[in-house]
Structure 1
Amino acid sequence: MEITLRLEIATMTSGPGRPPETKHSPWLILGVLCLGFFMILLDTTIVNIAIPDMIDRLGASLDQILWILNAYILVYAVLLITSGRLGDLYGAKRLFILGLIIFTLASAACGLAQNPGQLIAFRVIQGVGGALLTPQTLSVLTVIFPPERRGAAFGIWGAVAGVATVAGPTLGGWLVTNWDWRWIFYVNVPVGIIALIMAVIVMPDLRLNRRHQLDYVGTLLITISLFLICYGLIEGQSHDWGKAWGPITIPMIIGAGVIVLAIFLWQQYAQRNREPLVPFRIFADRNFSLMNGVVAAIAFGMLGLFLPLIIYLQSVLGLTALQAGLAVAPMSLVSMFVAPLAGRLSDKTGGKWVLFFGLSLWVVGLSIVVFSAQVNSNRGDLIPGLLVAGLGLGCTFAPLQTIAMRNVQPQVAGAASGMINTTRQLGGVIGSAAVGALLQNQLVTQLTDSAQTNATALPPDQQGRFIDAFKSASSGSLEVGAGQSGAALPPNTPQAIVELALKTFHEGFTAAMKSTMVLPLIVLAVATLTVLFVRNGGKASPPSAPAATTGKVSPETTRVDS
């Protein structure tokens, strides 16, 4: 069945700024989009919890493990902008379904991998599928929901995003504990099949009948730029921010990526009157530009905070992988229930003060978590802060998307969605790299200080070796598994020294973690203040009419194939 709707320059047949009619309920379509989106985001965090099992069963080295984790994120981040634009050109439904097929097949292949090389290759393919799918979710929601109901839709979408990000360790811990690492990939297969069948049946085929062409030069430039920047940030720590490829250093790689990015921006500006990959007019809206910065800060804070916190839960508090995942579950549960309510409130108020309130609570809640994390703490001590943080987090997703996408025209919804998702991923990559580097630096200082303090309990002839063991560990061979002492001790080390080493590690790591987590809290606080510059304008208003891309005014047609 094909429904054809004519788009004049200022109006649609369904009314000014109204969405096109679809065969199925927009809420059912939202459910399909969220199912696919949940699966994609889950894979960014679920793999971390399976690292020990992969090392044991797959025989993977540390470098290979790092690429198993990061190959997916790298490809995913690099291709998001291009995939968003492809959705604009060829239809969001086609790209969503193609992404689902690629991701589901790649997940099955990951589970069947027989060596680390195969798993890395299949993770790259997973990243391609995820990048094709993700931008289509926001662009479709922007088109099928009227402005005054988008907040509620974005609230549900945001709840899924929050739960997927935080639930990865919990679900992954359960799967690894009861089966093995392969099931963190096999679980995607039935979910992917269900989402694929529903997408074919339910999703409308929204396409603008215009003569389009892809900006190949822009696509090549942004791909090279993001690859170099992401690669440098991901690999920086493992190369000690020094040489990576022969005489080429990590700073040189990142610098080259920044230069190519500048060339890309110049090229996009030069093409602004044609069809650039990133239409500059989406940045003319102050709110969209501000929300790109805020979403990057949120990703920076989320991944940056959880990196040391998850290690603390397992290494200092001695929790298992599943227990560590369950320890942060209260935050995700609160966020899941609050997000839809925040979405409805954003519809009524415009979202500015909901977002400001949410970010403020998130900063306060995470500050309570940092304050409560002591050497002798338990899971219960962290719950109050996590509950406050979850309440705040639930109030961020919906208003952020409502503010960002409120005035985005349907013709560039895919590009805008791809842009804001790319910004989110880059914020996460930068957050992980920056917090990881700072944590390493703090460990050098804090572990050494703790070792010098506790070494006084040892005979004088053993004090120097004890301190040197921690200096060496904090410089690159740190063991952070549950029950580890943080330093490599000989097999026959007396129990008293083992316990002293464990005490030293717990004190040193806790102090280093608390100092490190100040950085993401500062970034989040700045993002909170940024929200004050948002133009609220009350309720969401219909997007402005699309501007003609050529000199003459001509009607456009939106096809909705159901």
Structure 2
Amino acid sequence: MPDPSGAAFDCSLAAVELVSLAYLLILVALLIPAGRLSGAHGRKLLYLYGFLAFSGASAACGLAPSLATLVAFRVVQAGGAAMMQADGVALVTTSAPRERMRTALGVQTAAQALGLVLGPTVGGALVSTLGWRWVFEVNVPMGVLGLVAGYFLLPRTRARNPVREFDGWGLMLLSVATIGLLLSVSAASGLPVPGWAVAVLAGLAAAAAWGFVARERRITQPLLDLGILRVRTVSVGLFAALCGYLVLFGPLVLAPIVVILRGHSELTAGAVLTALPAGFALTAACADRVLPSALSDRSRCAAGAVVCAAALATMLGSPLSLAWLTPLLALLGLGLGLFTPANNALIMGAIPPCSSGTGGGLMNMARGLGTALGVALVALALYLGGPYGNRWALFLLLIVSLLTAAAAWPTRAPELQPPIDESGQETSG
């Protein structure tokens, strides 16, 4: 189905892809810088500025007179979203008592899953009735409501990590690395980019990533304190988070294709698809009320990943009819809803409060990369696999879920983490 904004601006589908791609590229590139600035100037302040920028840019997107201006306003919208997403997790973890962190993160994760359920449905209804511009305009009253509620309800930041000199070169290198990587991944999911350009982008991303790491190691005020990533709980948790979101978003692309190819309508495909985020939201919000409180976060992560692997393995061997697909997608959502809040709690629990904004940025960056990889791997499997493409896609998702389970599996010996002081730096002794 052609994109409504493309028809309004008389543009090709490839050009209209820039509307979504520009948002994703800028969002992922700015998550870590936004988290770093929030730790220095106040998470509540940056979060409210993010709401303001996102709402204002949404209003401008709805009034955009051309595709070029729409893309430009989407870039501003992504900047606001980066400030909100980087600070959202940090505000939850620093506001909730430590023993209630997993429950609080579960509620936040359930809200994200609810957005996955309602977003396509509400967006489709708005496009078909009022027009595509209202997909953006509806964000304005919601943004104003969030801005007012955040001003009165959110706590002020107590622990801060001041920035004496902002790492502009680090921001540039990180942006080149993330944008190059996402463009390379997007090419596999259908972006019309020649093969040589993909290779150049991948090489540029690798070189920029190497330069970013080298710079962050030698400057005194880094954009990202690499000592955080040397804590095994954080590094392994971020890898598991990336895999978890890959397993979440891969089926969101695959399931509608499978349902429609079997002769069912788009409405049926959408109804079947809601089983996954519905199961996700249910478990994320209610797991703490059902499971024993003595069950550790790492055990919950491993159990959730094993449930995901079981659901995908069964799906791989099933006929993929509606009677099989719907409950298995719900089971996959249940596993992800158990895994994600516990994994988020493990990551944020291993990061000092003054660096929680950076930790939130890292978690959301893992989410963005996992989303892009999930879409790309499924698209690539469908393209290369021919009539068996859906099976190859499920096989790849199964492998990723097994890697997630291996990363989350509890170890017998307790992990020894390097102590970190209030500035986020490792200390000796």
Both proteins in one fold, TM over 0.5: yes
Distance (whole Å) between structure 1 residues aligned to residue 15 and residue 412 of structure 2: 47
- Counterpart CA distance in 2 for 1:187 and 1:59 is 24
Partner of 2:409: helix, strand, or coil? helix
Q: 1:284 aligns with which of 227, 230, 234?
A: 230
**1:63 pairs with 14, 24, 40, which one?**
14
Of 359, 367, 374, 2:305 maps to 359
Counterpart position of 2:337: 394
Q: Which amino acid aligns with 1:337?
A: L
| Separation in structure 2 between the aligned mates of residue 196 and residue 218 of structure 1, nearest angstrom | 31
Q: Which amino acid aligns with 1:94?
A: L
Preserved contact between residue 313 and residue 324 of structure 1 (Cα < 8 Å): yes
Provide the C-alpha distance between the structure 1 equivalents of 2:109 and 2:121, rounded to a whole number of angstroms. Answer: 19
- Indicate if the aligned counterparts of 1:331 and 1:386 stay in contact, CA closer than 8 A: yes
How far the C-alpha of 1:419 sits from its partner, in A, is: 1.2
**In structure 2, distance between residues paired with 1:317 and 1:332:** 23
2:381 equivalent to 1:430: no
CA shift at 1:383, angstroms? 1.9
1:353-375 deviations in Å (ceiling 9; x for gaps): 1111111112222344444454x
Structure 1 residues 431-450: aligned runs within 5 Å: 431-443=374-386, 446=387
Distance 1:373 1:60 in 2: 40
Spell out, residue by residue over 1:403-456, the C-alpha distance to the aligned partner (whole angstroms, 9 max, x if none).
11112111111111111211221122233223322321223xx3xxxxxxxxxx
More deviation, 285-294/310-319 = 310-319
Secondary structure of 1:60's match?
Answer: coil
d(CA) in 2 for partners of 1:383, 1:548: 48
The answer to whether the aligner puts 1:205 opposite 2:187 as a matched pair is: no
Q: Is 1:230 aligned to 2:230, yes or no?
A: no
Is the CA contact (8 Å cut-off) linking 1:300 and 1:428 kept in structure 2? Answer: yes
Name the amino acid aligned to 1:205: R
Preserved CA contact (<8 Å) 1:113 1:119: yes
Cα deviation for residue 347 of structure 1 reads 5.8
> Secondary structure, in 3 states, of the residue corresponding to 2:100?
helix
Q: CA shift at 1:238, angstroms? A: 3.0
- 1:107–1:126 Cα contact (<8 Å) kept: yes
Within 5 Å, give how 1:11-410 maps onto structure 2.
Answer: 52-208=3-159, 211-213=162-164, 214-235=166-187, 237-239=190-192, 241-243=194-196, 249-271=197-219, 274-320=220-266, 322-343=267-288, 345=291, 348-372=294-318, 374=320, 377=321, 379-410=322-353
Cα distance in 1, alignment partners of residues 7 and 161 from structure 2: 54
Please list the CA deviations of residues 107-153 of structure 1 after superposition, one character each: whole Å capped at 9, or x if unmatched: 22222233332322222221111111101011122222221110110
Return the alpha-carbon distance in structure 2 between the equivalents of residues 92 and 535 of structure 1.
37
**Unmatched tracts of structure 2, length 5 or more:** none
CA deviation string 1:176-207 (max 9, x = no partner):
34433223222212211110111111112204
Q: Deviations over 1:5-40 (max 9, x none)?
A: xxxxxxxxxxxxxxxxxxxxxxxxxxxxxxxxxxxx
The match for 2:362 among 407, 410, 419 is 419
1:126/1:211 CA distance change after superposition, 3 Å: closer
**TM-score relative to the length of structure 2:** 0.89
3-state SS of 1:114 partner: coil
* Amino acid corresponding to residue 335 of structure 1 in structure 2: F
User: Once structures 1 and 2 are overlaid, which stretch shifts more, 76-85 or 387-396?
Assistant: 387-396
CA contact (8 A) 1:287 1:535 kept: no
- Give the whole-Å Cα distance in 2 for the aligned partners of 1:534 and 1:86: 35
Alpha-carbon distance in 1 for matches of 2:2, 2:247: 23
Measure how far apart 1:545 and its partner are.
Answer: 6.9
Select which of 374, 399, 409 maps to 1:532.
409
Alpha-carbon deviations, 1:205-238, whole Å to 9, x = none? 2044665222222222212221222223224543
Give SS of 1:212's match. Answer: coil
Shift of 1:343: 4.5
| Alignment root-mean-square deviation, CA | 2.8
Whether the 8 Å contact between 1:75 and 1:128 is mirrored in structure 2 is yes
Distance 1:278 1:347 in 2: 34
Q: Is the 8 A contact 1:338 1:394 kept in 2?
A: yes
Report how far residue 78 of structure 1 moved. 0.9
Confirm or deny: 8 A CA contact 2:35 2:357 kept in the other structure. Answer: yes
| Equivalent residue pairs, number | 422
Spell out, residue by residue over 1:388-412, the C-alpha distance to the aligned partner (whole angstroms, 9 max, x if none).
1122121022101111111211111
Larger helix proportion of the pair: 2
The answer on whether the counterparts of 2:22 and 2:75 sit within 8 Å (CA) in structure 1 is yes
- Aligned-pair identity in percent equals 26
1 CA distance for matches of 2:268 and 2:11?
Answer: 25
Give the alignment of 1:464-503 within 5 angstroms: none
The residue type equivalent to 1:400 in the other structure is: N
Aligned-partner Cα distance in 1 for 2:424–2:338: 37
CA spacing shift, 1:234–1:346, aligned 2, 3 Å: farther
Query: Structure 1: how far apart are the matches of 2:385 and 2:231?
Result: 41
- Tell me the distance in 1 between the aligned counterparts of 2:51 and 2:350: 29
**Counterpart residue identity of residue 242, structure 1:** G
